[in-house]
Amino acid sequence: MSGWRLAWLWCAALAGFLAAAEGAARLDDRLFHGVPFFANPSYDDLFVRDDLGRRGRPNAQFGKWQLNRFGFRGPEITLLPRHGCTRIAVMGASETFGYDESPGHEFPALLGAKLAGRGCIEVVNVAVVGMTTGTMVSYWRNWVSRFQPDLVVVYSSPLFYLASDEPPQAAAAAPPAAPAEAAPMPAPAPLPGHPFSSRFVKRLRGVIHAAVPAWVWMAVSRHQVEQKLAGLPPEALIHAPRAAGLAAYEHDLVRLIAAVRAQGARVVLVTHAQRAELPLAPRALPDLWEERTWVPQADLPVFIEFDRAANAVTQRVAAREEVPVIDAAAQLNGCWDCFGDLNHFVDRGAERMADLLARQLPLPQRGQ
């Protein structure tokens, strides 16, 4: 057999294997996740930005993430709570939306299951990936308040404020949100089209990522940080939590409490938990170097120090504003098996978080 013919046979076999693998991946997604066979979904398809701001895209789906007709992760709900039922909205970013957990094991979903035997209680996961405490204010006014929750649980992500170096600006007074019955529902945004993207290759990347030792990924993250730091002046580096960042977080937290109260709902704050502790243990370094790729100018310990300082701000604001606070950090900080990275829960962490909230949430009765 000639060399050219042998090469063509190998190419044909490889093409057949890749086509079969791609078909199997797409068939698996179709059978177990309901993803159309010929679609090329993207994680960004889960969210939409319109006149109401950035929020979950109604009925969106990507992988294990499925959103209901209002763009919330979880089962279908009605616009208004059922008569006599207590509705709890859980606000946050990716830690609340769900990232490393098994489907249905994000802590708001588990909280709903744990409260099911205590009367008619509905827990709605209204979290949006990448949402700061400040953007929660407009998100609440423009969208979440329409669903009239009785209780709003706020699990903020303080690290969004770590690099802030400007004092908080006074926000212009916003008009009150329109009543749910009067506010028109937004028209569904068309789903953007995407070019072909191999789902088999995406799965293969996940397998490779899990198989590669953590120290290899730490080296990759460290190299990325060093590239981003090149040329930065010394004064741009962050060696300790910035007072401006903590002040901005406090400012936005107070604004959010006021906005929620203005609509007649109660607020419960929850301190932020992390896998790492101080002093730094060697096993925490891969998480911290990965986190530093987002804020390369910050020293590794600052990611923990800022989070702890922000939790102190949360406690102080809760006392001053007379709102309940649940100290998740005190219970979960340093629980290595509770997290998949520095900030995101795995199933065990979500279970412990849901247990803590179920025990300590002050549950109001509808109409109180």
User: Rounded to the nearest 10 degrees, what angle do helices 347-360 and 107-114 cross at?
Assistant: 50
Asked if residues 349 and 338 have their Cβ atoms less than 8 Å apart, the reply is yes
Phi and psi, residue 337, nearest 5°: -80, 0
DSSP state letter for 73: B
Task: Judge residue 136's burial from the number of C-beta atoms within 10 Å of its C-beta, 0-12 exposed, 13-18 middle, 19 or more buried.
Answer: buried
R_g (Cα) of the chain, nearest Å: 23
Question: Alpha helices of the chain — where are they, by DSSP H?
Answer: 3-33, 94-97, 107-114, 133-142, 199-211, 214-229, 243-262, 285-292, 300-321, 328-332, 347-360
3.30.1600.10, 3.40.50.1110, 1.20.5.510, 3.40.1550.20: which CATH number matches 73-163+199-360? 3.40.50.1110
d(CA 148, CA 136): 16
- Joined together, the tokens standing for residue 14 give 């490889």
Residue 91 forms beta bridges with which residues? 154
C-alpha atoms less than 13 angstroms from C-alpha of 255 in its C-beta half-sphere: 23
Amino acid (one-letter) located at 57:
R
Asked if residues 124 and 149 have their Cβ atoms less than 8 Å apart, the reply is yes
pLDDT of residue 150: 97
Number of residues that this document lists for the chain: 368
Phi and psi, residue 145, nearest 5°: -60, -25
Q: pTM for the whole thing?
A: 0.89
pLDDT of residue 174: 56
Task: Judge residue 37's burial from the number of C-beta atoms within 10 Å of its C-beta, 0-12 exposed, 13-18 middle, 19 or more buried.
Answer: exposed
Tens of pLDDT, residue by residue, the chain (368 residues): 567 777 788 888 777 776 676 667 666 666 666 666 656 666 788 899 988 899 999 999 888 899 999 999 999 999 999 999 999 999 999 999 999 999 999 999 999 999 998 999 999 999 999 999 999 999 999 999 999 999 999 999 999 999 998 777 766 555 555 555 555 666 666 666 666 666 666 676 767 777 878 889 999 999 999 999 998 999 999 999 999 999 999 999 999 999 999 999 999 999 999 999 999 999 999 999 999 999 999 999 999 999 999 999 999 999 999 999 999 999 999 999 999 999 999 999 999 999 999 999 998 655 55
C-alpha atoms less than 13 angstroms from C-alpha of 368 in its C-beta half-sphere: 11
